[in-house]
């Protein structure tokens, strides 16, 4: 690839990362603010009920485009007949899924252990109608690396949904405030995706009865869908078990801990991951460039995720009551334990993007099969010790599977395990030192200091230690990231 083309790619990646970062920053700030407001307006049972509902809704969301949208990004050449077939096929499936969930709402609510879930599921099934016709315009924007438009639609949607949620909470709507948030977000995101894709001239909605082009991407798409279904199952089996065995109140505490740590980490990973699939797909025929790009992306991700992970883990007993109030203190200990899994998530988060970009999505599928087979028994055992036991089961099994996952990546891409580890080792060491020092400060401060003061002191000292260590051991990566973020697309 020529120097000009390489510089152009770097510019597109930098632009994509910038817009993804802005999108995630605004989204997470909005979600965080809305959650703070609603946790003070709603009861833990409301959040527990929504958590149960989203076990079903989030699983269904994985099926709405049946993995076809990723195929539109990965393919080297793209025919208009395939685009039209994916649009119609995904739309039909979205309608069918919405109808199926609405019809099955009662037995699902019974199976999940809360009869109040029936009407919530029926209302949330509308989300599938919009998701079914959102995938194609968004995928084409990503394929053309138009990340500003791609991210802008979801950012505006979250703000609109948050406004509806808060209004509902102030009006005493209970769990329906959370439902209104979700539906509004889906409607606005889909509408804007259509507007942006059409105005950018990357897509024109067309109806077709010819769905035969879907056969050409069926194997690839099936592997992606199967992987994400299994991955979702492994990440939500804990919610099902906690809700069924311990009840919605315990699930409310566990769900808050899970969202507060793991969800923001995963969303931070999406800043790079969203751009990575498009960029890796363009590099799929150049193994050396792909390997270098992967290692840089993982290192950048670790630099961000590790300090968040460490500091939230050591400060959880102070963070939860300060931000959410004393009524949520039961979420502090599971949060502390769950946060320990952050570094492992950062190290393996982009593996799927590499395999999907190179047309080997089936590898991710089998990784998820093994993960689910290990996690579920762990949760079943851990629930005997309450939500903290489930949190320990999550973190322990995640680390137990880390070495095999690194080995599989090495066998399939040629990126040696030693290289994968040394790539992030300076960041991990810096995070460990920062966490140890912050925990030491917490231990010596008297209890009379107060949660807020302890949280501030621990965070400041921990971050200062982390930044100093990273600059001392891996300054070049930090400067490279700064240069990349200021690179311009041509």
Mean pLDDT of successive 10-residue stretches along the chain, which has 490 residues: 49 68 79 84 82 80 71 79 89 90 89 82 92 89 84 91 92 89 93 93 89 82 79 77 82 81 68 73 77 85 87 89 83 88 86 80 82 87 90 89 89 87 91 92 83 90 90 77 57
C-beta separation of 196 from 141 below 8 A: yes
d(CA 83, CA 334): 44
C-beta separation of 387 from 334 below 8 A: yes
Six token digits for residue 375: 């996690």
d(CA 262, CA 254): 12
pLDDT for residue 2: 44
d(CA 382, CA 384): 5
Picking from 15, 62, 16, 34, the residue whose alpha carbon sits closest to that of residue 185 is 34
Name the phi and psi angles at 341, rounded to 5: -85, -5
d(CA 162, CA 182): 9
Using CA atoms, how far residue 261 sits from 161, 242, 313, in Å, is 22, 18, 9
d(CA 329, CA 325): 7
What pTM did the predictor assign? 0.70
Six token digits for residue 475: 């300054």
Q: Which residues contact 159 (CB under 8 A, 6 or more apart)?
A: 26, 30
**Would you call 243 exposed, middle or buried from its count of C-beta atoms within 10 A (0-12, 13-18, 19+)?**
buried
pLDDT for residue 103: 92
Q: Helix or strand or coil: residue 383? A: helix
Picking from 439, 406, 435, the residue whose alpha carbon sits closest to that of residue 422 is 406
d(CA 462, CA 468): 10
pLDDT for residue 486: 58
pLDDT for residue 485: 59
d(CA 103, CA 125): 10
Picking from 309, 233, 296, the residue whose alpha carbon sits closest to that of residue 265 is 309
Largest Cα separation within the chain, whole Å, is 71
């Amino acid at each position: 690839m020529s120097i000009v083309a390489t510089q152009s790619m770097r510019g597109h990646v930098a632009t994509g990362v910038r817009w993804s970062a802005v999108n995630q920053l605004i989204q997470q700030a909005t979600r965080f603010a809305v959650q703070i407001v609603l946790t003070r307006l709603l009861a833990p049972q409301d959040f527990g009920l929504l958590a149960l509902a989203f076990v079903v809704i989030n699983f269904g969301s994985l099926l709405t485009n049946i993995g076809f949208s990723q195929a539109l990004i990965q393919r080297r050449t793209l025919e208009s007949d395939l685009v039209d077939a994916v649009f119609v096929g995904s739309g039909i499936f979205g309608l069918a899924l919405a109808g199926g969930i609405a019809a099955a709402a009662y037995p699902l609510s019974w199976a999940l252990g809360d009869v109040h879930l029936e009407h919530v599921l029926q209302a949330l099934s509308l989300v599938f109608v919009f998701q079914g016709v959102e995938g194609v315009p968004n995928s084409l924007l990503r394929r053309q690396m138009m990340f500003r438009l791609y991210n802008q639609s979801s950012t505006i949607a979250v703000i609109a949904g948050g406004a509806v949620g808060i209004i509902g909470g102030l009006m005493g709507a209970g769990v329906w405030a959370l439902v209104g948030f979700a539906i509004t977000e889906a409607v606005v995101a889909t509408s804007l995706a259509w507007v942006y894709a059409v105005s950018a001239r990357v897509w024109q909605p067309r109806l077709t009865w010819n769905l035969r082009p879907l056969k050409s991407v069926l194997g690839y798409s099936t592997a992606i869908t199967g992987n994400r279904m299994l991955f979702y199952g492994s990440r939500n089996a804990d919610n099902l078990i906690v809700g069924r065995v311990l009840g919605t109140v315990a699930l409310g505490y566990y769900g808050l801990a899970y969202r507060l740590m793991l969800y923001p980490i995963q969303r931070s990973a999406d800043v790079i991951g969203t751009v990575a699939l498009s960029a890796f797909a363009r590099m799929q025929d150049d193994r050396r460039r792909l390997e270098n790009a992967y290692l840089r992306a993982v290192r950048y991700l670790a630099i961000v995720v590790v300090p968040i992970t460490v500091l939230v883990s050591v400060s959880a007993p102070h963070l939860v009551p300060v931000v959410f109030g004393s009524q949520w203190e039961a979420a502090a200990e599971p949060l502390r334990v769950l946060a320990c899994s952050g570094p492992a998530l950062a190290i393996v988060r982009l593996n799927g993007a590499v395999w999907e970009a190179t047309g080997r999505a089936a590898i991710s599928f089998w990784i998820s099969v093994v993960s689910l087979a290990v996690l579920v028994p762990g949760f079943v055992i851990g629930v005997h010790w309450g939500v903290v036991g489930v949190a320990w089961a999550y973190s322990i099994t995640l680390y137990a599977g880390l070495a095999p996952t690194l080995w599989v990546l090495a066998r399939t891409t040629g990126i040696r395990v030693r290289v994968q580890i040394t790539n992030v080792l300076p960041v991990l060491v810096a995070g460990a030192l920062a966490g140890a020092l912050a925990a030491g400060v917490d231990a010596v401060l008297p209890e009379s200091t107060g949660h807020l003061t302890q949280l501030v002191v621990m965070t400041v000292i921990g971050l200062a230690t982390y930044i100093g260590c990273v600059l001392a051991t891996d300054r070049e990566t930090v400067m490279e990231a700064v240069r990349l973020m200021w690179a311009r697309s041509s």
